[in-house]
Amino acid sequence: MKHSATVQTQFLSVEEVRTIVSHLGVAQTLHRMADYIRADYVRWPDFDKCARVASHSKDGVIELMPIADASTYAFKYVNGHPRNHLVSLPTVMAFGVLAEVDTGIPLLLSELTLTTALRTAAMSAVAARVLARRNSKSMALIGNGAQSEFQALAFHHLLGIEEIRLFDIDRAATEKLVRNLGHTALRLVRCENTAAAVRGSDIVTTVTADKTNATILTPDMIEPGMHINGVGGDCPGKTELHPDVLRGATVFVQYEPQTRIEGDLQQLPTDFAVTELWQVLRHQAPGRTSEHQVTLFDSVGFALEDYSALRFMRDAAGELGLGQSVSLIPELADPKDLFSLIRPGIGALALAA
């Protein structure tokens, strides 16, 4: 394989990702990202997979999420610190890399904070397309923080949801969501509590942030035919659903070894049966089998979705002529002579010689 001595990595900043979304529109961005995610899940056997590597502290978690196929390696660095808003920082911050497997060259370095919100919502819609009832029109959205608008728009544009029933213990968060989505065709209904929001909804999405074993949904709230999209329970010690909600549903996951540790599934014994979503997307296992079945997507986020999102952003940036070249790799006349970069007499060190 032949490469030039000059190796440039494409860099996508927050502003450039924002430009991509502004140019395409949120609806088209979510549609295209969902297509990339679904296409990669259908290729599930092609990937070298593992659960993410996590470093936990009392205030949050920092994680690395790697994955690769035969040609491309990807990873995401991401944190989750629920108290960050108290110091004017996002709860989730992330960046990611695409690299060439054959050489290890980093091809793309990109922001993934905004991109992660988009890909998480797109992933929810990919799952709901095969798990929710086809005529679903209403969704309860429990937790109205940073991820909530993206979830609402994904279900609106990709599944045809018309009504979003809102609840958050922080009323200001709900008002923020209403302001942000007031221009859309969505019917936004403020509710006094979780039970009121869930009542009569076709789909229930939970996206709360506190790192605690919470019980947001209880069995008495669940109605026949509901699809539950559990997004907020995504690390050890962080749950949203009463265990009996899982026991009363058909449960689907992204990557079972990771969800057993991080998802609401952590509350149940290891012999509790679940289905990995890729099997449904490849028609190797059933999704929803009846109108009365309760389905549950125990979503924790998986590295394959970041791989898909990075691929999409790289391609979209190429279409729009966006991205900057950055030098992450030394340029060497002799690749065996790394010391030449700092040898006295070369560059800035020559002035000190």
Hey, which residues are catalytic here?
234
Q: In residues, how long is the chain?
A: 353
Residue 49: how many CA atoms within 13 Å on its side-chain side? 19
In eight-state DSSP terms, residue 249 is S
Cα–Cα distance list, 48 to 66, 101, 122 (Å): 9, 12, 22
Specify the 3-state DSSP secondary structure of 158: helix
Give the span between the Cα atoms of 342 and 208, in whole angstroms: 50
Residues 6+ apart with CB under 8 A from 129: 158, 159
Give the span between the Cα atoms of 244 and 217, in whole angstroms: 10
Structure tokens at 257: 């070894």
- Rounded to the nearest angstrom, the gap between the alpha carbon of residue 151 and the centroid of all alpha carbons in its chain is 11
Specify the 3-state DSSP secondary structure of 33: helix
Would you tell me how many other CB atoms lie within 10 Å of the CB of residue 53? 11
